[in-house]
Protein backbone atom coordinates (compact mmCIF):
# COMPACT_ATOMS: atom_id res chain seq x y z
CA UNK A 1 0.00 0.00 0.00
CA UNK A 2 2.77 2.43 0.96
CA UNK A 3 4.69 1.63 -2.20
CA UNK A 4 1.60 2.35 -4.28
CA UNK A 5 1.05 5.63 -2.44
CA UNK A 6 4.67 6.66 -2.88
CA UNK A 7 4.51 5.83 -6.58
CA UNK A 8 1.37 7.93 -6.89
CA UNK A 9 3.00 10.87 -5.09
CA UNK A 10 6.09 10.51 -7.26
CA UNK A 11 3.90 10.47 -10.37
CA UNK A 12 2.13 13.66 -9.26
CA UNK A 13 5.44 15.34 -8.45
CA UNK A 14 6.95 14.45 -11.81
CA UNK A 15 3.83 15.68 -13.57
CA UNK A 16 3.89 18.94 -11.60
CA UNK A 17 7.58 19.52 -12.35
CA UNK A 18 6.99 18.76 -16.03
CA UNK A 19 4.11 21.24 -16.30
CA UNK A 20 5.98 23.96 -14.37
CA UNK A 21 9.11 23.39 -16.45
CA UNK A 22 7.18 23.53 -19.71
CA UNK A 23 5.40 26.75 -18.76
CA UNK A 24 8.69 28.27 -17.58
CA UNK A 25 10.41 27.43 -20.88
CA UNK A 26 7.51 28.69 -23.01
CA UNK A 27 6.86 31.95 -21.17
CA UNK A 28 7.62 34.18 -24.13
CA UNK A 29 5.27 32.23 -26.43
CA UNK A 30 2.56 32.33 -23.77
CA UNK A 31 2.84 36.09 -23.29
CA UNK A 32 2.94 37.27 -26.88
CA UNK A 33 0.32 36.29 -29.46
CA UNK A 34 1.01 38.43 -32.52
CA UNK A 35 -0.87 38.27 -35.80
CA UNK A 36 0.14 39.67 -39.19
CA UNK A 37 -3.43 39.67 -40.52
CA UNK A 38 -4.53 43.29 -41.05
CA UNK A 39 -8.32 43.05 -41.23
CA UNK A 40 -9.32 46.64 -40.46
CA UNK A 41 -7.85 50.10 -41.11
CA UNK A 42 -8.68 53.68 -40.09
CA UNK A 43 -10.03 54.33 -43.58
CA UNK A 44 -13.58 53.54 -42.46
CA UNK A 45 -13.49 56.03 -39.56
CA UNK A 46 -14.08 59.08 -41.74
CA UNK A 47 -11.26 61.00 -40.05
CA UNK A 48 -7.85 62.05 -41.40
CA UNK A 49 -5.23 59.37 -40.99
CA UNK A 50 -1.75 58.49 -42.21
CA UNK A 51 0.58 55.50 -42.22
CA UNK A 52 4.01 55.62 -40.58
CA UNK A 53 7.18 53.59 -40.29
CA UNK A 54 9.27 54.02 -37.15
CA UNK A 55 12.84 52.76 -37.03
CA UNK A 56 13.87 51.21 -33.71
CA UNK A 57 17.49 51.60 -32.51
CA UNK A 58 18.29 48.04 -33.60
CA UNK A 59 17.12 48.78 -37.17
CA UNK A 60 13.72 47.09 -37.03
CA UNK A 61 10.89 48.98 -38.71
CA UNK A 62 7.66 49.39 -36.77
CA UNK A 63 4.31 50.05 -38.39
CA UNK A 64 1.80 52.58 -37.11
CA UNK A 65 -1.18 54.77 -37.97
CA UNK A 66 -1.84 58.34 -36.95
CA UNK A 67 -5.60 58.75 -36.57
CA UNK A 68 -6.96 62.29 -36.48
CA UNK A 69 -5.33 65.67 -37.05
CA UNK A 70 -2.13 65.96 -35.07
CA UNK A 71 -0.73 69.21 -36.50
CA UNK A 72 -2.83 71.45 -34.24
CA UNK A 73 -0.70 72.73 -31.36
CA UNK A 74 -3.70 72.56 -29.00
CA UNK A 75 -4.65 68.93 -29.64
CA UNK A 76 -3.27 66.11 -27.45
CA UNK A 77 -1.82 63.04 -29.14
CA UNK A 78 -2.60 59.69 -27.52
CA UNK A 79 0.24 57.17 -27.92
CA UNK A 80 -1.64 53.85 -27.90
CA UNK A 81 0.22 50.70 -26.78
CA UNK A 82 -2.06 47.70 -27.28
CA UNK A 83 -2.45 44.30 -25.60
CA UNK A 84 -0.59 41.04 -26.17
CA UNK A 85 -2.70 39.53 -28.98
CA UNK A 86 -3.49 40.45 -32.58
CA UNK A 87 -2.26 43.79 -33.89
CA UNK A 88 -3.39 47.38 -34.41
CA UNK A 89 -6.17 46.40 -36.82
CA UNK A 90 -8.12 45.06 -33.85
CA UNK A 91 -7.92 48.41 -32.06
CA UNK A 92 -9.19 50.74 -34.78
CA UNK A 93 -12.62 51.11 -33.16
CA UNK A 94 -11.14 52.08 -29.79
CA UNK A 95 -8.75 54.56 -31.40
CA UNK A 96 -11.65 56.07 -33.34
CA UNK A 97 -13.66 56.64 -30.17
CA UNK A 98 -10.71 58.38 -28.52
CA UNK A 99 -10.11 60.51 -31.61
CA UNK A 100 -13.74 61.62 -31.54
CA UNK A 101 -13.19 63.05 -28.05
CA UNK A 102 -10.73 65.65 -29.30
CA UNK A 103 -7.35 63.94 -29.57
CA UNK A 104 -5.23 62.44 -32.31
CA UNK A 105 -4.19 58.81 -31.72
CA UNK A 106 -0.93 57.18 -32.75
CA UNK A 107 -1.63 53.45 -32.87
CA UNK A 108 1.41 51.26 -33.47
CA UNK A 109 2.50 47.63 -33.50
CA UNK A 110 5.37 46.26 -31.47
CA UNK A 111 8.06 44.22 -33.16
CA UNK A 112 6.64 40.98 -34.58
CA UNK A 113 3.06 42.28 -34.67
CA UNK A 114 1.17 43.22 -37.85
CA UNK A 115 3.52 44.80 -40.38
CA UNK A 116 6.32 45.45 -37.88
CA UNK A 117 9.63 43.60 -38.23
CA UNK A 118 11.17 41.19 -35.75
CA UNK A 119 9.88 39.12 -32.84
CA UNK A 120 8.48 40.39 -29.54
CA UNK A 121 10.29 40.29 -26.20
CA UNK A 122 9.76 42.24 -23.01
CA UNK A 123 12.83 44.42 -23.50
CA UNK A 124 12.06 44.72 -27.21
CA UNK A 125 8.62 46.25 -26.74
CA UNK A 126 10.08 48.78 -24.29
CA UNK A 127 12.59 49.73 -26.97
CA UNK A 128 9.70 50.06 -29.44
CA UNK A 129 7.73 52.27 -27.08
CA UNK A 130 10.67 54.63 -26.66
CA UNK A 131 11.36 54.66 -30.42
CA UNK A 132 7.75 55.70 -31.08
CA UNK A 133 7.96 58.61 -28.63
CA UNK A 134 11.27 59.72 -30.17
CA UNK A 135 9.71 59.54 -33.63
CA UNK A 136 6.68 61.59 -32.69
CA UNK A 137 8.83 64.20 -30.98
CA UNK A 138 11.73 64.39 -33.41
CA UNK A 139 10.18 63.54 -36.79
CA UNK A 140 6.59 64.76 -36.43
CA UNK A 141 7.61 67.60 -34.09
CA UNK A 142 4.96 66.78 -31.47
CA UNK A 143 6.18 68.04 -28.08
CA UNK A 144 6.07 65.72 -25.10
CA UNK A 145 3.63 68.00 -23.29
CA UNK A 146 1.00 67.13 -25.91
CA UNK A 147 1.41 63.35 -25.53
CA UNK A 148 -0.82 61.06 -23.47
CA UNK A 149 0.59 57.57 -22.97
CA UNK A 150 -2.19 54.98 -23.13
CA UNK A 151 -1.63 51.29 -22.41
CA UNK A 152 -4.22 48.54 -22.66
CA UNK A 153 -3.57 45.27 -20.80
CA UNK A 154 0.06 44.29 -21.59
CA UNK A 155 0.41 47.72 -23.21
CA UNK A 156 0.07 49.19 -19.73
CA UNK A 157 3.64 48.04 -19.07
CA UNK A 158 4.85 49.94 -22.14
CA UNK A 159 2.83 53.08 -21.38
CA UNK A 160 3.98 53.12 -17.75
CA UNK A 161 7.60 52.79 -18.90
CA UNK A 162 7.10 55.64 -21.39
CA UNK A 163 5.63 57.77 -18.60
CA UNK A 164 8.59 56.96 -16.35
CA UNK A 165 11.09 57.96 -19.05
CA UNK A 166 9.38 60.99 -20.60
CA UNK A 167 7.45 63.94 -19.26
CA UNK A 168 3.96 63.94 -20.75
CA UNK A 169 0.46 65.34 -20.42
CA UNK A 170 -1.02 62.17 -19.00
CA UNK A 171 -1.02 58.42 -18.52
CA UNK A 172 -3.97 56.06 -19.01
CA UNK A 173 -3.86 52.42 -17.90
CA UNK A 174 -6.70 50.24 -19.19
CA UNK A 175 -7.06 46.73 -17.69
CA UNK A 176 -3.40 46.85 -16.73
CA UNK A 177 -1.68 44.60 -14.19
CA UNK A 178 0.63 45.39 -11.30
CA UNK A 179 3.52 43.33 -12.67
CA UNK A 180 4.20 40.30 -14.80
CA UNK A 181 5.02 38.15 -11.80
CA UNK A 182 1.86 39.25 -10.00
CA UNK A 183 -0.53 38.46 -12.83
CA UNK A 184 1.29 35.22 -13.76
CA UNK A 185 0.83 33.83 -10.27
CA UNK A 186 -2.83 34.90 -10.37
CA UNK A 187 -3.36 32.86 -13.53
CA UNK A 188 -1.04 29.99 -12.56
CA UNK A 189 -0.99 29.94 -8.73
CA UNK A 190 0.93 26.65 -8.71
CA UNK A 191 4.01 28.25 -10.31
CA UNK A 192 6.63 29.61 -7.87
CA UNK A 193 7.05 33.36 -8.42
CA UNK A 194 10.83 33.12 -8.74
CA UNK A 195 10.39 31.05 -11.91
CA UNK A 196 8.44 33.80 -13.66
CA UNK A 197 10.93 35.67 -15.83
CA UNK A 198 8.50 38.31 -17.09
CA UNK A 199 8.94 41.42 -14.96
CA UNK A 200 6.70 44.05 -16.60
CA UNK A 201 6.93 46.22 -13.45
CA UNK A 202 3.96 48.52 -14.04
CA UNK A 203 3.75 49.30 -10.32
CA UNK A 204 7.37 50.47 -10.12
CA UNK A 205 7.19 52.51 -13.32
CA UNK A 206 3.94 54.11 -12.21
CA UNK A 207 5.69 55.42 -9.11
CA UNK A 208 8.26 57.05 -11.40
CA UNK A 209 5.73 58.53 -13.85
CA UNK A 210 6.60 62.09 -14.88
CA UNK A 211 3.02 63.25 -15.13
CA UNK A 212 0.43 64.34 -12.58
CA UNK A 213 -2.60 63.32 -14.66
CA UNK A 214 -3.42 59.63 -14.49
CA UNK A 215 -6.53 57.64 -15.42
CA UNK A 216 -6.96 53.97 -14.52
CA UNK A 217 -9.76 51.91 -16.10
CA UNK A 218 -10.71 48.43 -14.92
CA UNK A 219 -13.69 46.09 -14.66
CA UNK A 220 -14.81 44.09 -11.63
CA UNK A 221 -15.61 41.26 -14.06
CA UNK A 222 -12.10 41.00 -15.47
CA UNK A 223 -11.12 37.35 -15.07
CA UNK A 224 -7.70 37.66 -16.71
CA UNK A 225 -6.34 40.66 -14.80
CA UNK A 226 -8.35 40.75 -11.57
CA UNK A 227 -9.96 43.99 -10.42
CA UNK A 228 -7.57 44.26 -7.47
CA UNK A 229 -4.76 45.12 -9.89
CA UNK A 230 -6.60 48.24 -11.02
CA UNK A 231 -7.45 49.25 -7.46
CA UNK A 232 -3.86 48.80 -6.32
CA UNK A 233 -2.58 50.80 -9.29
CA UNK A 234 -4.95 53.56 -8.24
CA UNK A 235 -3.56 53.45 -4.71
CA UNK A 236 0.00 53.68 -6.04
CA UNK A 237 -0.92 56.60 -8.30
CA UNK A 238 -2.40 58.50 -5.35
CA UNK A 239 0.73 58.07 -3.19
CA UNK A 240 1.84 61.40 -4.63
CA UNK A 241 -0.74 63.96 -3.42
CA UNK A 242 0.10 66.21 -6.37
CA UNK A 243 -1.33 63.67 -8.84
CA UNK A 244 -4.75 64.15 -10.42
CA UNK A 245 -6.01 60.55 -10.49
CA UNK A 246 -9.24 59.29 -12.08
CA UNK A 247 -10.48 55.74 -11.58
CA UNK A 248 -13.06 54.39 -14.05
CA UNK A 249 -14.97 51.21 -13.36
CA UNK A 250 -15.81 49.46 -16.62
CA UNK A 251 -18.35 46.74 -17.30
CA UNK A 252 -17.61 43.43 -19.03
CA UNK A 253 -14.62 41.15 -19.11
CA UNK A 254 -10.97 41.73 -19.94
CA UNK A 255 -11.58 41.70 -23.69
CA UNK A 256 -15.11 43.12 -23.66
CA UNK A 257 -14.68 46.08 -21.33
CA UNK A 258 -14.61 48.55 -24.19
CA UNK A 259 -17.58 47.16 -26.12
CA UNK A 260 -19.75 46.86 -23.00
CA UNK A 261 -18.70 50.23 -21.59
CA UNK A 262 -18.46 52.29 -24.77
CA UNK A 263 -20.45 55.28 -23.47
CA UNK A 264 -18.56 55.37 -20.17
CA UNK A 265 -15.29 54.98 -22.05
CA UNK A 266 -16.03 57.86 -24.43
CA UNK A 267 -17.25 60.17 -21.67
CA UNK A 268 -14.28 59.55 -19.39
CA UNK A 269 -11.82 60.00 -22.24
CA UNK A 270 -13.50 63.31 -23.13
CA UNK A 271 -13.21 64.45 -19.50
CA UNK A 272 -9.58 63.36 -19.26
CA UNK A 273 -8.64 65.08 -22.51
CA UNK A 274 -10.33 68.29 -21.34
CA UNK A 275 -8.33 68.20 -18.10
CA UNK A 276 -5.11 67.59 -20.00
CA UNK A 277 -6.01 70.30 -22.49
CA UNK A 278 -6.43 72.81 -19.68
CA UNK A 279 -2.78 72.50 -18.68
CA UNK A 280 -0.86 75.72 -18.23
Q: What is the mean pLDDT of residues 6-34?
A: 54
What does the pLDDT read at residue 147?
97
What is the C-alpha separation between 200 and 180, in angstroms, rounded? 5
pLDDT, tens only, 103-144: 999 999 999 999 999 999 999 999 999 999 999 999 999 999
pLDDT, tens only, 75-89: 899 999 999 999 999
| Phi/psi at 216 (5° precision) | -120, 125
Helix (H) or strand (E) holding 186: helix 180-187
What does the pLDDT read at residue 194?
53
Q: What class has domain 34-277?
A: alpha beta
pLDDT, tens only, 41-79: 999 998 999 999 999 999 999 999 999 999 877 789 999
Residue 187 has pLDDT above 70, yes or no: no
What does the pLDDT read at residue 92?
97
3-state per-residue secondary structure call for 43-92:
HHHCCCEEEEEEECCCCCEEEEEEECCCCCCCCCEEEEECCCEECHHHHH
**What are the structural domain ranges in the chain?**
1-31, 34-277
Amino acid sequence: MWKTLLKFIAFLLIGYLFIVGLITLLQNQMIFHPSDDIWDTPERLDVPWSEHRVEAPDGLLLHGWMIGEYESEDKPVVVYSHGNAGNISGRVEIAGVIANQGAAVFLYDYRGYGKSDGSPTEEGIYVDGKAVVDYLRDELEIPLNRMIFYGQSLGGAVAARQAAEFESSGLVLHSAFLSGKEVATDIYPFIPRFLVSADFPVNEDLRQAKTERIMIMHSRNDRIVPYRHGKELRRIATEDPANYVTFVELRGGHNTGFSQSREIYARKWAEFISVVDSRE
